[in-house]
A and B are shown apart, each in its own frame.
Chain A
């Protein structure tokens, strides 16, 4: 029977992937080093999820100069404010980010405490939690002030009080008050409303993450990626052969770093969703590698005694079409998100796309050839290459 198909990738290629591995590895090393150096020296643009701070998405009814917004926010004392356009220009939506979560610095707090201590019988040291930052607890003995008196005393230092709240005392017979000062969100919102009153700013989203939480999320995110990699490597090792593990590890790290590169070089925000992308890339990029390894295993059983290098090359070429097409199909599904996704979702799909491409590339040029490299090194050391004695074992 005659059988004809239309193939994007011809089905009888004889491309020498193994032979080109030196060039490929050099290129990859340069790309990876560039990402790492950039991330270390230039830094990633950590979002509030990881850096801590306050982020507000504000939509205006008409065009507003982002520089004017920044000026407004900076005039309030936030020197590190950043203002970005969010989504299409016609939306007039901006992302305002401030590194701090609290308006009060330790010096401000000390000033307030001194002012209150001068007037009222404060017991012990007033409690201030810098992680939260808008709240100072006072404890009084003897005759405590009324909430109004306390508010007046605090405001005499220039701080704005949102609320004075009575709380149960630390010990029986004493009174305790929590003084809650104005928060960042409140202050910025007021400023924008008065400055751009005709553009009617609408705060659509506020994210606020304390610095301690941010640090924790960052560490956990890093750990999550490592755990996922380790588990995948163990799985592939168990299902195939632990000789394949080094290739998988290197390919995984390669893909994760390249994906990170999207965030490093574009300067887009690196946040929880970014970690999700990297994890998904790590999980997905192995798929192609599994396809190739499966074929290597199949061929190893079929052609006993063949050199591992030729075996690998042949296997990659045989499944070239499908490793390309699977990635292509998945990438296709992301196109809608690239066109219609704003902000985080755009970054999600763009980074995912890059990760998918990198995953396919690393399968062809890194993961499989790396296996041979390690085999050859073992051979040079004098130990007979195992592949020639016993073909990779079939697990099934």
Chain B
């Protein structure tokens, strides 16, 4: 045999071993009863020489039960809120400028601001002077009134921000529940799709996800030693040169951070940290709650160690004064900006309070100068900057330095989003809901696998009966094809859905098409009087492009379908695409290697 043949056989054996190796975690995954699959039990059961336990075949929502929700941001209502806020702001602004205003309120449809005044022309010019980048003044207002409306680009930007906000809120909440492998992603312009596998209570999910986010400001209690008591009850966090090193113990652990106190003093404050939100909540409940003094509470926030790609997340506590000092209602706007006051530009968050909020903020910041103020969104501490000076209507949050510039800017954007979430609630509503009960999945899996096996058996039997030895070779290639498809699906972490099983079966049927074409061509060449070796050579060469063409056309349909579909249908498209690509390899390269081996002598006979 030529050297080239040995290379091909090595490749085929390599692919076979690789596929089987990649399917090891999936094998252990499906051997466990469903309720243990997503726990430590599974990770422990996978042998250490196998690929990462995360790379296993996943069952889609339709097969394992769970909830899919598409939540849309009620942009309409968020818009009305924005218009109403701006109307109040304009009223205050005009009063400050001593311009007579009777009223500044949203019109009845909520899309415009109507300012009633005795001097419309003056009002129009002075308001546009101040807010001209965002507002325009549409005509059609009655006598003695000026209309203002937001410009289209402002609205578009606002809509996008509102969806960002809603997505953030939803992520926070799902995080808090500890659902295993939730999938949250954007869909279209204004929808967020949430998949909660195994989650059983749709009413609860809808209720919790549908609630508008609450933003609160609280002062941290860094003088208190209440939390020092946890040191006896929890292990100390593993640390590396003073930085926390993940993963942390499952029970949670304690660590300290240095904080500054008003008046220049400093002390080490104890906090609790854990890998996940549910783990931390459990630790707080068990060891921290009993230690609290009246008027204190524990806030939970997320923190990172490292930078760039190796960033690891963990959750940590803050000791807070329980009293809510201010709520997000009093913020009118927030954005990330550059502070160039100290030479080099530095990302900061700039926010504006409503007039009443400004008065409250002034009082709060004067009293707590030098302390930290925690912004708590939905019960999660997002950031806790020091109060460095008196703030009234306009404030600025400076970020801690010594991080890459890009990261700081992202952080500033993130905080601005949080503040805005308080300022302008973006209520979400449910556009689409699909719930699959736990009883349905196992039945579908059973029926689906039976159906797939029957289909496979029929195809295998047909090939052997019709093409004999050559059919058997095609069948061997088909089995390798099936293994390869499943292995690729495990590697890319795609999910197996019911239509996906149908797609899998279908691609097996399509995979032998190539061998039918090859074998028919070989028959034709033999009939024309060629030797077996020539016929095999001609057979493969002449139909090669036909096979490529027919695969490509089906692939085109598959790719278009993947762009279009979501959920189960997308699962079908993905399986179809993987199956077609794998079949090009198995039905051409693999069968050819076998055929070359059997027809290596000129006198070889072939049953085709």
Contact = CB atoms under 8 A, between A and B. Distances in A.
Interface of A: 1, 3, 5-8, 11, 57, 59, 124-125, 127, 129, 131-132, 135, 137, 163, 165, 167-173, 178, 180, 186, 202-210, 212-213, 216, 220-221, 223-224, 227-228, 231-232, 235-236, 239, 272-273, 275-276, 279-280, 282-284, 286-287, 290-291, 294, 298, 318-319, 321-322, 325-326, 328-337, 339-342, 344-345, 348-349, 352, 396
A172 B554 contact: no
B557 A279 contact: yes
Given A127-B80, A170-B80, A172-B329, A132 B431 contact: yes
B552 interface: yes
Contact of B560 (A228, A272, A273, A286): A228
Contacts of B182: none
B569 A273 contact: yes
Interface in B573-608: 573, 576, 608
A332 B509 contact: yes
Given A167-B427, A330-B506, A335-B458, 8 more contacts: A173-B356, A204-B440, A231-B560, A235-B552, A272-B569, A322-B516, A332-B509, A345-B498
A172 B455 contact: no
A173 B549 CA distance: 67
A120 B450 CA distance: 62
A125 B108 contact: yes
Interface residues of B, number: 105
B572 A224 contact: no
Contact of B433 (A202, A208, A332): A208
Main SS at interface, chain B: helix
B17 interface: no
Interface in B170-208: 188, 191, 202-203, 207
Interface of B: 70, 72, 74, 76-77, 80-81, 84-85, 87-88, 106, 108, 110, 188, 191, 202-203, 207, 210-212, 214, 327-330, 354, 356-357, 422, 425, 427, 429-437, 439-440, 444, 447-448, 450-459, 462-463, 466, 498-499, 502, 505-506, 508-510, 512-513, 516-517, 520-521, 523-524, 526-527, 529, 531, 542-543, 545-546, 549-550, 552-558, 560-561, 563-565, 567-569, 572-573, 576, 608
Contact of B512 (A7, A236, A329): A329
A165 B214 CA distance: 12
A273 B466 CA distance: 33
A170 B84 contact: yes
B527 to A, nearest CB: 6
Main SS at interface, chain A: helix
A224 B563 contact: yes
Given A205-B434, A332-B458, A341-B451, A272 B565 contact: yes
A5 B606 CA distance: 11
Instruction: Return the 6 tightest CB-CB contacts between A and B, nearest first.
Output: A283-B557, A333-B509, A336-B454, A287-B550, A330-B509, A336-B451
Given A124-B106, A280-B557, A331 B509 contact: yes
Given A291-B550, A330-B509, A348-B499, A57 B440 contact: yes
B388 to A, nearest CB: 26
B446 to A, nearest CB: 9
Given A137-B427, A231-B556, A273 B546 contact: no
Contact of B450 (A205, A291, A336): A336
A340 B450 contact: yes
A334 B436 contact: no
B451 A337 contact: yes
